[in-house]
């Protein structure tokens, strides 16, 4: 397992070793001992999520608040996405900054997102299946988020405006500055 720091404090990229031969490949995608060295891992995933989306879909930026705040380990098992996180931890040196990283079936890179980040992604391939482990259960009353097209965050989702598929719910989310500044 290769672990690489990112520009955002505590967010890291994990690249598992792929064992390939004429039959295909084998990848060990998770091992708790890898996570223990990250510092922001609490040792218990309680929920796995999977989403399938078509090209142009933008999901997010989502988060869970309070005792339902979630850390996530995100990976793509089909296709190619741009995964985006925004640091919402007020005391963090990277507060208000965002990171965009390409995750795909081909590169096998996973993104570790600790509690305190908003998360979203755009689908860059014809379709994509995204899987992620969470360390807290989803709770509808603890939902939060930031408008994915927030002008102040200026996230380049790498999807032309005319091709963007965004839910009405996500388009109704507040801007970063209206709730976090």
Q: Which residues does the annotation mark as catalytic?
A: 62, 132
Q: How many CA atoms lie within 13 A of 91 on its CB side?
A: 0
3 state DSSP class of 8: coil
Closest CA to 85 of 111, 51, 56: 111
CA distances 84 to 26, 101, 103, 111, 157, Å, are 27, 7, 10, 10, 8
Vertex 166 angle, CA 164 and 168, to 5°: 145
Q: Give residues with Cβ within 8 angstroms of 23, minimum separation 6.
A: none
- Which DSSP state fits 130? E
């Amino acid at each position: 397992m290769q672990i690489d720091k990112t520009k955002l404090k505590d967010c890291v990229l994990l690249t598992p070793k792929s064992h390939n031969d004429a039959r295909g490949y084998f990848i060990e995608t998770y091992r708790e001992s890898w996570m223990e060295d990250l510092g922001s891992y609490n040792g218990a995933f309680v929920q796995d999520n999977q989403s399938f989306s078509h090209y142009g879909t933008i999901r997010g930026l989502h988060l869970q608040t309070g005792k339902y705040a979630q850390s996530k380990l995100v990976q793509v098992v089909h296709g190619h996405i741009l995964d985006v996180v925004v640091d919402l931890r007020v005391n963090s040196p990277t507060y208000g900054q965002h990171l965009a990283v390409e995750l795909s079936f081909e590169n096998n890179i996973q993104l570790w997102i600790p509690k305190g980040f908003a998360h979203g992604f755009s689908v860059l391939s014809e379709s994509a299946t995204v899987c992620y482990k969470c360390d807290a259960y989803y709770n509808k009353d603890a939902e939060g988020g930031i408008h994915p097209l927030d002008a102040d965050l200026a996230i380049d989702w790498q999807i032309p405006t005319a091709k963007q598929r965004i839910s009405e719910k996500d388009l109704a989310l507040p801007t970063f500055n209206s709730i976090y500044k």
